[in-house]
Structure 1
């Protein structure tokens, strides 16, 4: 029988709480980094439109390398966090499918959760690096 009883369904949902919470945290993290990436890209676009007659033209144009590094770090951090999100989603799917089919999911689930945690950790390291590069004096000018 594919449909478990009410007690078993309650157990499945309680087991799904941690991966679902993790997935929500990943989504919030990706949203935060996407917002920062949008600001960095907008700044790059603004500097690329800067006219030769701007008094700080050379200084501001020299800042493009730093901004591109920030964009690359944020993009890589988003990718790592998205890998963590995909692993969390697969973990949730595996949890429900294996329970409905009566299989044991402990080994695959542990592997997926470990990989998701490592991927999110890598995204956090990259985000930390981006925040270190973050604010510079050149950001104060239009």
Structure 2
């Protein structure tokens, strides 16, 4: 068994790694989107928490529970996306490790890819739930 793969084997490994690498890039972009939304929700919650109870805008504080729910949904989506990215990263590593040792990885790679895809789908469901909750009557008050 040779630990130095041929040029043809390296080319094959890189072509197999393209899909997981693009998937990992998409997951990273999705995590960036979720964290940006999370920061907007947190900033809005901080703004509403700063309104004094005896102010004429105190009724706007009623929106805080909705913002907490949105933050929980986004946190869950971020964690699911991170799990998906971890699976994609493991898949990428598996492609190269098995290429160096000339091992078969079909079943393991399939399971990792299915897991990564399902986790990303779960994150997208959480994102959709957040989008549904996004606009609310309180958002129009200033």
Please tell me the TM-score bracket, short chain as reference: over 0.9
TM-superposed deviation, 1:51: 1.5
Please provide the CA RMSD for this pair. Answer: 0.9
TM-score by length of 1: 0.96
TM-superposed deviation, 1:90: 0.3
* Aligned mates of 1:13, 1:57 — CA distance in 2: 58
Tell me what 1:126 maps to. 126
TM-score by length of 2: 0.96
Match of 2:37, SS state, is: helix
Paired positions, count: 141
* Aligned mates of 1:30, 1:139 — CA distance in 2: 24
* Runs of 4 or more consecutive aligned structure 1 residues displaced over 2 Å after TM superposition: none
TM-superposed deviation, 1:140: 2.6
Match of 2:104, SS state, is: coil
**After superposition, where does 1:1-142 map in structure 2 within 5 Å?**
1-58=2-59, 60-142=60-142
* Unaligned ranges ≥5, structure 2: none
TM-superposed deviation, 1:4: 0.8
* Aligned mates of 2:117, 2:99 — CA distance in 1: 23
* Aligned mates of 1:3, 1:54 — CA distance in 2: 72
Match of 1:16, SS state, is: helix
